[in-house]
Structure formats: structure tokens, C-alpha cells
A and B are shown apart, each in its own frame.
Chain A
Amino acid sequence: MGWSRKDLLTMRELDAAEILTLVDTAASLQEIAGRDIKKVPALRGKTVVNLFYENSTRTRTSFEIAGKWLSADVINFSASGSSASKGESFIDTAKNIAAMSPDVVVVRHSSAGAAEVLARTLPCSIVNAGDGAHEHPTQALLDLLTIREHKGHFEGLNVAIVGDISHSRVARSNIHAMRKLGMTVTVAGPPTLIPPFVQELGVKVSYRLEDAIRDVDVIMMLRLQQERMTGGLIPSLREYSRYWGLTLDRLRAHARPDVLIMHPGPVNRGVELSPEVADGPYSVILDQVAKGVAVRMGVLVLLSGHKGGVPA
């Protein structure tokens, strides 16, 4: 197990061994959540800045808790409450933050490539916490950790990713990671939500939910953004939900009894997932959230120069 990168930007650039290092490190840190005193000194004296240009509850909170449990000083910077709202450019804001010598900057931005641009500009470690529709590597890592805990392995598993693939950074990061770990990935949705040439990323494409979920080990449902109707991508939420909503009936009729239902959140209840499925026995959605903290701890530990293992 080794880690030599300064930044975590994409799953595309990692090899299988690096991905497993990240997953294993996260797995070893999970037990901290169960401790009475949730604090280890691994990142004492380190500063982590959460630079969030997009709204996020889950991911930001998760990074914040991860940093705090590791004893880092964690500063949250959101674009709405900062100089960015006064018209300061992204690069200027980033350089100003860098001038205060943080060790890690966690960035969430609506523009694809924002994390790459930062990594090129700043000397500190950069963690991509989601850049436009490009990548969201820590989400993929927590998905992988969840899958391995429930299925015991990666190799040979079949996964269906269902919904708005075009606009999903979660789908892209998972496609790269899952392919490298020997999993078979099917992306499914109406053709307007499937990006062109996606087969060239090594996935299968399905235009029918019932076909896509048959015989898979994992179904990952994606959030449908309400604004997709205005772009002419789907006629109505009603129609989308009718053909692409995962209901208990559909699940029982077409999926395996041991299938895992995942969702990166936030869930549109009644659109892509019926409440009975979201809260039902197949769902591991809250488990994903719990694993998110361990994954982010693992990432912060590795980027800060530690080589894995549970810190004292």
C-alpha cells in the first residue's frame, strides 16, 4: 500500500492499487465513529479549507467531521458568504486562501476542471469534492466501500447506474473506478440523459429500467434535477417517474433478492425512488453517508503524508 499523489482530483487518473489503498484506509478508520471520544491526533496542526462554490450539505459536513475527528483545523468557505459574491475571481480567491498556508483545500465547484485548475495553481493538496459534471471521487470511494462491505469483493459484480448520466459526476467517477476493479457497469436512462459515446468508457447502455436492473448486484439511482425539463431532455417528471422510477413492485419483479439500492443523495422521493424503496430493506443509502466520513478521513490522512493504518 502506497500513496504518492499530492492531490485527489479524479478516479480516471488512479490505478486499481491506488483505489484499493484509499478504500482500505477508509475501512480501517471506520471504527472511529463508534468510539466514545471521536478524536485522533493524525492531522493535529494541519489546516483543511473546505472551499465550496456550490451548495452541499452532505459532502461538506462529511469533510468537516472527518477533518475534526482527525484533529485538523477545519475552515469552511462558501461562495455565498465570501468575496466570491463580490465578484472576486476563482483564481484570486484561491490564491488568497493559499497565502494563508492551508495544508489541504477541498473544493466543490459547478465548473468541470475547477479542481485541476486549483491543483495547477496552488502548492497545497487539493481534494476534488465535485466539479461540475466531471468527477466526484470521494463519492465513488464511499460507494465502493459500501459495496465491498455488503458484497465482500468487487471483481465480477454487476452494477446498474440509472438516471441522468449526462449531468452526473457521480456516474463518471464510479464508471472509471468500477471498471478498474473488474466490475461490469450498465448505464440506463432515457437516451437524452445518456452522454454521447459513453460506451467508449467501457459500459453497456440500456434504455429500459426493467432490463437494466435484471441480475445486477447493485442499482445506483441518480437524482433527477428538476430543471432537466426546460432543456427538452424529458417531457415531465410524471413521465420520468412512470418509466424510470424504482418502485418496490418493479424491484421485486425484475431485480435479484440480494440487490443493493444506492443513491448519492439528495433523493427526490417519488421521482427516481419510491419512499418504500428508499427506506426499504434493499437500501443502503444511509450506510453510504456513514461511510462518507471514513472515506474523507482516509483521503485527508493519505494526502497529509500518512501511509494508511489506524492512527493512535
Chain B
Amino acid sequence: MSLLIKGGRVVDPANSIDAVQDVLVKDGRIERVGPGLPAPEGVTVLDAAGKVVCPGFIDIHVHLREPGLEYKETVATGTRAAAAGGFTAVCCMANTQPVNDNRSITDYIRAKAESEGAVRVYPIGAVTRGLAGKELAELAELAEAGCVAFSDDGKCVMNANLYRRAMEYTLPFGAPVISHAEDDHLASGGSMHEGVVSTELGIPGVPAAAEDVMVARDILLAELTGAHLHIAHLSTAGAVRLVRDAKARGVHVTAEVTPHHLLLTEEAVRSFDANTKMNPPLRSKRDAEAVLEGLLDGTIDCIATDHAPHALSEKEGEFDHAAFGIVGLETAVAVLMDRLVGPGLLPLATLVARLSRDPARLLGLPGGSLAAGAPADLTLLDPAAEWTVDPARFESKSRNTPFGGWTLTGRPWKTVVGGRVVWP
């Protein structure tokens, strides 16, 4: 089966291409990229004039909720949401029920993905058994079963010695530990960023220092062990500075940022809308500016959504009782195109790199490039489409987004996985 994508603006940062070209796909792989490619016999031709053709976007931080929390999301609905949002691959976090801390759960998730998944799924294994922070999960077997990284995401491994051992033990696997960097004691009881808004609203705050002290600790542990440390959902100016300095020293540390930490601030919480409640919390304007700067200069390696579906009942009542987290897969690309690329704050090529080339490199995943022989995973964007975010129309099972009602220019147009159009 062949596909010829004709006349689109090909943005392929891994191969330094940004030009109107054609992409020929054959047997699930990229065959050729170039101007004016002839259409071989029997090929399906896709007219991509006016569209942007990119390597498939990879979201390395997603909660698919299966097994155990299927009322929030499943592998089927979560990967459909990914496809609809322009993602061709996702990495799913381990905080399912039961926790993905042993091979049988990893096998289950991969089997589900194989049979029902709309896009590629790479599981992330737990660092500690049951995410309890007490003893190591069977990390070698998890790696063998296909886990591409290890994280207790949602919880921080507070025991520094145990975290050090996790970093050491996983060294041979070439898979990073991903840190949910948050000091439990400093964050205790907080529902939003600690600042002038939390003071006015009387909502207990989580200081930026709760994140910064853990980023600092984990960088020191990465330095001690030589491990690859990845910081999940980095959200503070202080953490950007710490990662920048560590990289300059040669520490193997990488980081991701979410669209909501780039685009929203603590001010959004004034609505008491629980869809502005997530962990880490929406920070100050200064923090949002710092993470964008970090994304631009490469201190922050990639964009990840931290897609965290919750049922309406978990998000509609009192702010402090509501669950942490928002869905992100179906809005991420579009809100970033509209609010950052549109006004010229983020070059399109950088956005594409931080969503494809860089996450692929970071986790050693296939994809992220349109080089001949690479998997034919492509994200096609329509930069001119005008639309309004309507959570009722999400593919995800959950609707907990702060972006509902936003009017946007630009959105994913088609999503191609292994040479097959999976969306729409």
C-alpha cells in the first residue's frame, strides 16, 4: 500500500527540511521526500497544498487510565483522542489500577494497544512497587517487556537513596527515569500555585520551591549516578534555571513542558473552575515566560500534554476536593499553533521539533524523522482552519479541559500511522 502526499509544506527538523515537497510512503515506511515526485501506479494521492506535513507527533506523557480506571479513559478512547489531536504515538504513565509495576500489566497494555489502539503506545513502568516509594519495581523485566522509561508520575519518590538506586539499576536499559519533581512536604495540602492569587483566594498554595528542590536533588543524583534523568511537566522559572545549568555542566538531564504551563497562569484559577487545577499547578506569568524561553533555547527538550482524563463528577464541585489534571491530547497542537506560532512567539519548525524529533530522540523511539526508511508516521496540519474547542466533541472519554470555548486558527488535519490515515 502506497501513499503520496503532494504539495504540502514539509517541516522535518531532523533532516533540516522546511520546503514545499512531496512525501512518498510505501509499506508503512517513508520511501522518499522531494519536490515533484512522480506518482507510481496504484498509489493513493493526498493533495496537501496549503497544509503542513510533519513527522508524527509523539506525546511522552499521557494517562490512558487502563487497566482499572476505564470510566475516565481507555486505550481505545485515549489513542483515538491522540490521533484526533495529531499524535502518532503516546507513552502512557504507570498509575493505573493495578499499577504498571510488573510485566503482566505492561503486556496487557501492549495487547490492548495492539488490538484497539489508534496510534502507537509505549508504556512507562513504575519505579517503585505500587508507586509506594518503598521498594523498586521489577525494572529489568519491565524494560524487557517494552517499558521505555520509568516513573512514579503523580507521586514523587521522596526517598533519595531509593531514587539513586533506581537510577543506577536502570543504567543498562538505556531508558530514563522520569521525575515527578515535587516535595511532598512543601506541597502538602496545596491546590494551586502559591502566590498573590492563592493569597487572595484563600486556597492553600504549592510554592515553586516544592518543584525546584526536587529538580535540584534529582539533578545531583543524576550527576552522582550518570543516569539519564527526565523532568516531567517542568513548570517553574527556577527549574528552568537548574536544568539549564545542569545541561551546561554535562549532566544527562532532559525536560518536558505542557501546553497549559506555557499558555495559562495562576490567574485562571480565579474562576474556581476545577479545570484549572492540575499538578504542578498553573504558575505565575514569570514562570510561564521562563518555560517558553526554555523551550526556545532547548533547555526544555519537548512538549508533552500530561493528558489526565477525569470524570465530570471529579471536576465539577469544590475546587479543593476536585481531582488534579486536565485532558490535553485534542487541544495541545492547536492551542500552541494559535497562541504561540501564530503571534510569532514560537517558530513552527521549533514546535514541530519539540513534538517529534526531540521526544523520539529523548526516549530512543522510532519516528521523529521523515528520512527514507523511517516509519511512515506523519502529522498533517491545517494552519488556516478556524474552529472552536468543543469538549462535547472530544474523542476522549473525559472533557476536563480549560480550553473549552477557545477559538483557534490552525489544527491537526490528518494523522498517519505506519502509512495508514488513522484520523479522520
A contact set with B: CB distance below 8 Å: 12, 89-91, 109, 111-114, 116-117, 131-135, 167, 169, 172, 195-198, 200-201
Residue ID in chain B nearest A201 by CB atoms: B200
Contact between B318 and A109 (Cβ–Cβ < 8 Å)?
Answer: yes
Which residues of the other chain, B, contact A135 by a CB distance below 8 angstroms?
Answer: 202
Contact between B202 and A133 (Cβ–Cβ < 8 Å)?
Answer: yes
Cβ-defined partner of A111 (8 Å) among B194, B200, B318:
B318
Cβ-defined partner of A132 (8 Å) among B196, B202, B207:
B202
Residue ID in chain B nearest A167 by CB atoms: B202
Cβ-defined partner of B196 (8 Å) among A12, A91, A117, A196:
A196
Cβ-defined partner of B205 (8 Å) among A111, A113, A114, A196:
A196
Which residues of the other chain, B, contact A134 by a CB distance below 8 angstroms?
Answer: 201-203
Report if B199 contacts A (CB, 8 A): yes
Give the shortest distance, in Å, between A84 (CB) and chain B (any CB).
Answer: 11
Report if B313 contacts A (CB, 8 A): yes
Contact between B318 and A113 (Cβ–Cβ < 8 Å)?
Answer: yes
Report if B319 contacts A (CB, 8 A): yes
A131 to B199, CA, bound (A): 14
Q: Which of B175-208 touch A at CB < 8 Å? A: 194-196, 198-205, 207
Contact between A112 and B201 (Cβ–Cβ < 8 Å)?
Answer: yes
Which residues of the other chain, B, contact A169 by a CB distance below 8 angstroms?
Answer: 202
Cβ-defined partner of B319 (8 Å) among A112, A172, A200:
A112
Q: Which of B301-342 touch A at CB < 8 Å? A: 313, 316-321
Report if B272 contacts A (CB, 8 A): yes
Contact between A172 and B195 (Cβ–Cβ < 8 Å)?
Answer: no
Given contacts A116-B272, A196-B194, contact A111 B199 (CB under 8 A): no
Which residues of the other chain, A, contact B317 by a CB distance below 8 angstroms?
Answer: 89-91, 117
A12 to B272, CA, bound (A): 15
Which residues of the other chain, A, contact B207 by a CB distance below 8 angstroms?
Answer: 196
- Give chain B's interface residue range (CB within 8 Å of chain A): 20 to 34
Give the shortest distance, in Å, between A128 (CB) and chain B (any CB).
Answer: 12
Which residues of the other chain, B, contact A195 by a CB distance below 8 angstroms?
Answer: 198-199
Of the candidates A113, A117, A131, A200, the one having the most CB atoms from chain B within 10 angstroms of its own CB is A113
Give the shortest distance, in Å, between A262 (CB) and chain B (any CB).
Answer: 20
Residue ID in chain B nearest A197 by CB atoms: B196
Residue ID in chain B nearest A117 by CB atoms: B272
Contact between B196 and A172 (Cβ–Cβ < 8 Å)?
Answer: no
Give the shortest distance, in Å, between A306 (CB) and chain B (any CB).
Answer: 29
Residue ID in chain A nearest B314 by CB atoms: A89
**What are 16 contact pairs spanning A and B, CB under 8 A?**
A89-B313, A89-B316, A89-B317, A111-B320, A112-B202, A112-B203, A112-B320, A113-B203, A113-B272, A113-B319, A131-B202, A133-B204, A134-B203, A172-B200, A196-B198, A200-B199
Give the shortest distance, in Å, between A198 (CB) and chain B (any CB).
Answer: 6
Contact between A132 and B320 (Cβ–Cβ < 8 Å)?
Answer: yes
Residue ID in chain A nearest B322 by CB atoms: A111
Which residues of the other chain, B, contact A113 by a CB distance below 8 angstroms?
Answer: 201, 203, 272, 318-319
Residue ID in chain A nearest B203 by CB atoms: A112
Give the shortest distance, in Å, between B374 (CB) and chain A (any CB).
Answer: 49
A244 to B194, CA, bound (A): 26
Give the shortest distance, in Å, between A140 (CB) and chain B (any CB).
Answer: 14
Of the candidates B199, B202, B272, B318, the one having the most CB atoms from chain A within 10 angstroms of its own CB is B202
Q: Which of B365-405 touch A at CB < 8 Å? A: none
Given contacts A114-B318, A117-B317, contact A196 B195 (CB under 8 A): yes
A-B residue pairs, 8 tightest by C-beta: A113-B272, A133-B202, A111-B318, A134-B202, A197-B196, A195-B199, A112-B202, A90-B317
Give the shortest distance, in Å, between B45 (CB) and chain A (any CB).
Answer: 51
Which residues of the other chain, B, contact A117 by a CB distance below 8 angstroms?
Answer: 272, 317-319
A131 to B321, CA, bound (A): 13
- Cβ contacts B73-112/A at 8 Å (1 or 0 each): 0000000000000000000000000000000000000000
A116 to B276, CA, bound (A): 15
Contact between A90 and B318 (Cβ–Cβ < 8 Å)?
Answer: yes
Residue ID in chain A nearest B318 by CB atoms: A111
A195 to B272, CA, bound (A): 19
A90 to B320, CA, bound (A): 12
Give the shortest distance, in Å, between A82 (CB) and chain B (any CB).
Answer: 16
Residue ID in chain A nearest B192 by CB atoms: A112
Contact between B319 and A111 (Cβ–Cβ < 8 Å)?
Answer: yes
Give the shortest distance, in Å, between B316 (CB) and chain A (any CB).
Answer: 5
Which residues of the other chain, A, contact B204 by a CB distance below 8 angstroms?
Answer: 133
A201 to B197, CA, bound (A): 10
Contact between B316 and A111 (Cβ–Cβ < 8 Å)?
Answer: no
A112 to B189, CA, bound (A): 13
Which residues of the other chain, A, contact B313 by a CB distance below 8 angstroms?
Answer: 89
Contact between B202 and A172 (Cβ–Cβ < 8 Å)?
Answer: yes
A54 to B394, CA, bound (A): 38
Residue ID in chain B nearest A171 by CB atoms: B202
A169 to B316, CA, bound (A): 23
A56 to B36, CA, bound (A): 77
Cβ-defined partner of B199 (8 Å) among A114, A132, A196:
A196
Residue ID in chain B nearest A195 by CB atoms: B199
Additional A-B contacts beyond A116-B272, A133-B203 (14; CB < 8 A): A12-B200, A91-B317, A111-B319, A112-B203, A112-B320, A113-B319, A131-B202, A132-B320, A172-B200, A195-B198, A196-B194, A196-B205, A198-B199, A200-B196
Of the candidates B196, B201, B203, the one having the most CB atoms from chain A within 10 angstroms of its own CB is B201
Residue ID in chain A nearest B195 by CB atoms: A197
